[in-house]
A and B are shown apart, each in its own frame.
Chain A
């Protein structure tokens, strides 16, 4: 469970530590001591996860000036205050941590001077003291989100009402229950915060940076893992490519004995060119396979007669057959049977023959011719 720590420095010797939960409920209290060098010593070690810590300093550590700046914006007032306080402080304003506490303009009925300008309470302390306090806390692993003052918070109401007497009296009467209530209220918005400028709280920035660093480390890991994955894939692809390239070169070496090119790139063109050369040569040495063709034609004729071939003309690419059949159906059956070894088989002409049978002409392409055509 995350907790809020409130260090209530009540005097030079130390103070009380309030441990509050996230809702602001008081979980426990303990004492802590503080030496003159702002070295802290806690009675109980703090083992929980600290959500945020706050420090309250005693009113006597602070000095005040009431100014009328005529502005309502605290940020602007903080910018102006060092110049306004110049000459009013012991030493240069740059040696002081200065905070502006805006005092709302009193209502018209209560106002001693109706229409008085907005007033600002300049709260300041030596930077050296604030720095020592923060260093001492840092050594204990604490980085307070704000350095406020419960005692100032306790008189805040009076200040707003224009009564500044609270700054000098009535503080010692602030008992612990009241201080705890004030501390709880401070969790939701501090009365003042002396941590400005060079002492500004950067814990959220650091937390953000830590988150960013974690995200960055995840991103870097992811990039490395992806890079590793892609590299492995590249190595595998490269090995497979090398192996296949060796085979390609092996085949190439069989086709072109004694030749061993450096890579498989562009070999297809050479091989296709060689294939074309051989195909052309083979084409030029083709012969009509007349005997096979005659036997095939004989087999294609219907058993028991019915079709008789009279003229047969064969060349390298085509076959032209003239004959007579008893009817068109038989001729068509013969044509269909020829499709098993010829292509584009067509009955191009039929008519009554002198013999009384049906004369026909069948044209066809040889298998090799149709293969070349489809290439």
Chain B
């Protein structure tokens, strides 16, 4: 009877130990699964946000890079003269001076126009933006002409970016 009791007691103890181990195991498993889920949720939220932002940026950069690839062998001043000529302000382009650029893909120049009407100013700025090549304006200074205050004197810094390796 005593042996039987001992066997039963051992069985109960064994079952209790197994159940406690299972409980602890499941607790650890559940904790680890919850922590993984929380980590993946965070990654998903961040990936969704950053992914959207990345797609937008990539579209913009790709579009700009396509424009950069369209410049061919022509230089910045050629494009500037073409634009000025096309809107009839070539004679108002009083100065164009190349300045050094930090990037080998970029040609930079300071342009000065004088006595531009408001309409001509608008056309000029529009044409620069609408060029099939990548012309970037980094500075614009507008002031009334000294002798004809109704007309505008325009100084601007323009760059032509071409496709190619930055490290070139």
A interface residues (Cβ-Cβ under 8 A, vs B) = 209, 213, 216-217, 219-220, 223-224, 226-231, 233-235, 237-238, 240-241, 244-245, 247-248, 251-252, 254-255, 264-265, 267-268, 271-272, 274-275, 278-279, 281-282, 284-291, 294, 310-316
- Determine which of A220, A227, A286 lies in contact with B26 in the assembled complex, contact meaning CB atoms within 8 Å: A227
Q: Within 8 Å of chain A (Cβ to Cβ): is B87?
A: no
- Asked if B142 and A311 sit within 8 Å, CB to CB, the answer is yes
Chain A residue numbers with a CB within 8 Å of B51 are 251, 254-255, 271
Q: How many residues of B contact A (CB 8 A)?
A: 59
Contacts A285-B136, A290-B140, A314-B140 known; A241 to B40 CB distance under 8 Å? yes
Contacts A231-B30, A234-B29 known; A288 to B16 CB distance under 8 Å? no
- Asked if B54 and A285 sit within 8 Å, CB to CB, the answer is no
Q: Within 8 Å of chain A (Cβ to Cβ): is B37?
A: yes
- Determine which of B25, B37, B58, B144 lies in contact with A241 in the assembled complex, contact meaning CB atoms within 8 Å: B37
- Asked if B25 and A227 sit within 8 Å, CB to CB, the answer is yes
CB-based closest 6 A-B pairs: A223-B19, A230-B26, A237-B33, A287-B136, A230-B30, A234-B33
Chain B residue numbers with a CB within 8 Å of A240 are 37
- Determine which of B16, B136, B143 lies in contact with A219 in the assembled complex, contact meaning CB atoms within 8 Å: B16
- From A217, A229, A282, residue with most partner B Cβ within 10 Å: A282
Instruction: Please list 20 pairs of residues, one from A and one from B, whose beta carbons are closer than 8 Å in the complex, sorted by A's number.
Output: A209-B5, A213-B12, A220-B15, A230-B26, A235-B33, A244-B41, A247-B44, A264-B40, A268-B50, A271-B47, A272-B46, A278-B54, A290-B140, A290-B156, A291-B125, A312-B140, A313-B139, A313-B140, A313-B141, A316-B138
Q: Within 8 Å of chain A (Cβ to Cβ): is B76?
A: no
What's the A-B contact tally at a CB cutoff of 8 Å? 170
- Asked if A233 and B34 sit within 8 Å, CB to CB, the answer is yes
Q: How far is the CA of A216 from the CA of B126 in the complex (A)?
A: 86
Q: How far is the CA of A274 from the CA of B134 in the complex (A)?
A: 23
Q: Within 8 Å of chain A (Cβ to Cβ): is B72?
A: no
Q: Nearest chain-B residue to A138 (Cβ)?
A: B1
Contacts A234-B30, A271-B47 known; A255 to B54 CB distance under 8 Å? yes
Chain A residue numbers with a CB within 8 Å of B44 are 244, 247-248, 264
- Asked if B30 and A271 sit within 8 Å, CB to CB, the answer is no
- Asked if B143 and A311 sit within 8 Å, CB to CB, the answer is yes
Q: 0/1 per residue, B97-109, Cβ < 8 Å to A?
A: 0000001000000
- Asked if B26 and A237 sit within 8 Å, CB to CB, the answer is no
User: How far apart are B162's CB and chain A's nearest CB, in angstroms?
Assistant: 12
Q: How far is the CA of A237 from the CA of B143 in the complex (A)?
A: 65
Q: 0/1 per residue, B61-86, Cβ < 8 Å to A?
A: 10010001000000000000000000
Q: Within 8 Å of chain A (Cβ to Cβ): is B89?
A: no
- From B26, B39, B51, B121, residue with most partner A Cβ within 10 Å: B26
Chain B residue numbers with a CB within 8 Å of A235 are 33
- From B40, B134, B136, B141, residue with most partner A Cβ within 10 Å: B40
Q: Within 8 Å of chain A (Cβ to Cβ): is B7?
A: no
Contacts A282-B61, A290-B137 known; A310 to B144 CB distance under 8 Å? yes
- Asked if B140 and A285 sit within 8 Å, CB to CB, the answer is no
User: How far apart are B16's CB and chain A's nearest CB, in angstroms?
Assistant: 5
Q: How far is the CA of A356 from the CA of B8 in the complex (A)?
A: 109
Q: Within 8 Å of chain A (Cβ to Cβ): is B36?
A: yes
- Determine which of B23, B43, B134 lies in contact with A226 in the assembled complex, contact meaning CB atoms within 8 Å: B23
User: How far apart are A2's CB and chain B's nearest CB, in angstroms?
Assistant: 24
- Asked if B61 and A281 sit within 8 Å, CB to CB, the answer is yes
